[in-house]
Structure 1
Amino acid sequence: MRHLVVGSDRVDAGKTTFSTGLLERVGGVGFKPRAGNDYWFDHDDVRRAVADGRLYGKDAQRLAAASAADVAPEAINPVHRLWRPAPGGGTGIVGRGDRQFVADRLRIPGGDDAFVVGGAADVPAGVREALPLDGATVVDSAAALDEVTRERYLPALSRLAERVRNRDRAVVESYGDVARPLRDVTFDAVVAVEPGRARVFDGERYARACEVVGGSARGGRLEESVGDVTDVVDPTATVALPALSDSERTDPAAVADAYEVALDAAVAAALD
């Protein structure tokens, strides 16, 4: 039973909270193919990780903790990006005017980590001191980052996809509003989460909708958005999600209890 959880909003859609509740309900292991955090806005999370010479985010940490196996955040999240604000503007090498790409952490075979650093990045002193960045790959253009992505990132994601396929029960959480984070995995059901509701989709129909959008004039890009995909496929169920307190959101058992109806619909769609 493989579930994909996607978000209808670019940020704070509630994907991780829903995913931990789903893991509590069905068991298995959670996966987060790509993730990222901001040195300014997620400063405590960054400091906590780099204090141990590591780089990961709280989403992967929560998924790892909720999993029915002993897994490290880096093991279920092969690509993690560190940003920092760019008050002066400029698009940088990844096309974001408000953010500067600082570094990526890439989990490679054998459980080791490699790093890729932006050539013009203003790497915070604490990050540079804590992480082994001296031997990192440096990229100074979008083309260079694309090349590294093809040579190193995509194989890492392919290995993650293989691990997902080999799991009897897996919950994959997407990133941002990306509709399909792993292209070579078949999901039994997909849940699109947004503040206040969850929409459940048949996995096969959702995959076909991704193909339709990807081949259309509106699509034409590598990563389809959730909104574009859900516009062309009907959900099997739409369920209201109650607002949760901070303590409830961080407790998978409490989430599973509060989201019981939505989780029932997700499991039913996967078994149908």
Structure 2
Amino acid sequence: MTRVLIVGIHTFDSGKTHLAIELGRAFINAGRSVEYFKPISGHNYWYNYQHTLKCLEIGQLVSKDAMLVKETLGIDSDLRLMNPIHSLFVPSRIDRPLETIPNSLGLSGSTSILTMQRFSQPLSDEIDTTVLIAESLVEEEHLLIGFDEVGKLTHETSVSSADSLEAFQEFEMLYFDKYVTSSFSKISRSTDVVIIEAFNDAAWPWEALESVDHVFVVCPGHIFSYDPERFRKAAFLMKRGNLPIREVTFGRMSDLLKPSRKLEIRPQCSLSSSDLYALGID
């Protein structure tokens, strides 16, 4: 089984998901089965409202990117395992411009209150899901999301109240690796290729991922290939204290190593077999 890790140079809009789709298409056209894995993600209720509506329609809080890849490549796996952890940020109700709420969940400003976070893992032939909710903020109607909408997104899940950033962080610290590792194991069990998309510009997605076969770092116009083991070692070299490895951004470690290959690409390009060969994929 081949593992491909895609890392973004920039926090947003590096082109990771587009590359994941094009790599997936190329592998499928070559007769290989493909899975996609995005361990952690999040979206804003307001700025990505069309995606929020899709989540409400299917009754699952999931990644926009994972949904797009699944639909485009025709992947059969459950979205909740392809994307085991996903957060929802919701604007707060305010009485005056630039008002902030007196809660650590609003550290990013009034337009982005951490409101929900879903954790999913395989359990026998089913999927076990726990959703953390900023329950007091929702019940007291401090947020633009309605209680009925929260109900749709938590249907048939275990719900846990988390009314501070510290509560969300504590749960994530305790259970992140467990949920991600078990979901990844299930996803990658019977496929030829698994494409792993890192979160934002994180250099390495989670501690228990011991190795990959290819590392591609992407930005508009370019794909860079790196030696996988050297890339992993460089990421862990920059890890600080007890902070998770996903806190190490590519920018912090980029000076420690050089790309082994480079491919220049055009907007909305497709990848040919010669492009794959240029990136080191046989």
**Which structure has the larger Rg?**
2
Which of 176, 198, 208 aligns to 1:174? It is 198
TM-score, normalised to structure 2, is 0.80
Question: Does 2:94 correspond to 1:88?
Answer: no
Q: Distance in 1 between matches of 2:248 and 2:231?
A: 12
Give the drift of 1:115. Answer: 1.1
Q: Is the Cα contact below 8 Å between 2:87 and 2:117 reproduced in 1?
A: yes
Match of 1:230 in 2: 254
- The structure-2 alpha-carbon separation of the partners of 1:15 and 1:237, relative to structure 1 and needing over 3 Å to count, comes to same
For residues 171-223 of structure 1, give each alpha carbon's deviation from its aligned partner in whole angstroms, at most 9, with x where no partner exists.
100111111112222111111111121111111110111122225xxx98422
Q: Is the Cα contact below 8 Å between 2:60 and 2:154 reproduced in 1?
A: no
| SS of corresponding position for 2:105 | coil
Match of 2:163 in 1: 140
Q: Is the Cα contact below 8 Å between 2:177 and 2:206 reproduced in 1?
A: no
Once the two structures are superposed, the pairs formed by residues 46-195 of structure 1 within 5 Å of their partners are 46-67=52-73, 69-85=75-91, 88-89=99-100, 92-93=104-105, 95-97=107-109, 99-108=112-121, 109=123, 110-119=126-135, 120-121=137-138, 122=143, 124-125=145-146, 127-132=149-154, 136-163=159-186, 166=189, 167-185=191-209, 186-195=211-220
State the identity as a percent: 22
Q: Is the Cα contact below 8 Å between 2:55 and 2:153 reproduced in 1?
A: no
Whichever residue aligns with residue 15 of structure 1, its letter is K
**Which runs of 5 or more residues in structure 2 are unaligned?**
29-33, 93-97
Give the drift of 1:31. Answer: 0.6
Q: Is the Cα contact below 8 Å between 2:225 and 2:262 reproduced in 1?
A: yes
Give the drift of 1:53. Answer: 1.4
Once the two structures are superposed, the pairs formed by residues 231-270 of structure 1 within 5 Å of their partners are 231-244=255-268, 255-257=270-272, 262-268=275-281
- The structure-2 alpha-carbon separation of the partners of 1:158 and 1:132, relative to structure 1 and needing over 3 Å to count, comes to same
Whichever residue aligns with residue 111 of structure 1, its letter is I
Match of 2:225 in 1: 200
TM-score, normalised to structure 1, is 0.83
Give the aligned CA root-mean-square deviation in angstroms. 2.6
- The structure-2 alpha-carbon separation of the partners of 1:184 and 1:265, relative to structure 1 and needing over 3 Å to count, comes to farther
Q: Distance in 1 between matches of 2:174 and 2:183?
A: 15
Equivalences, count: 255
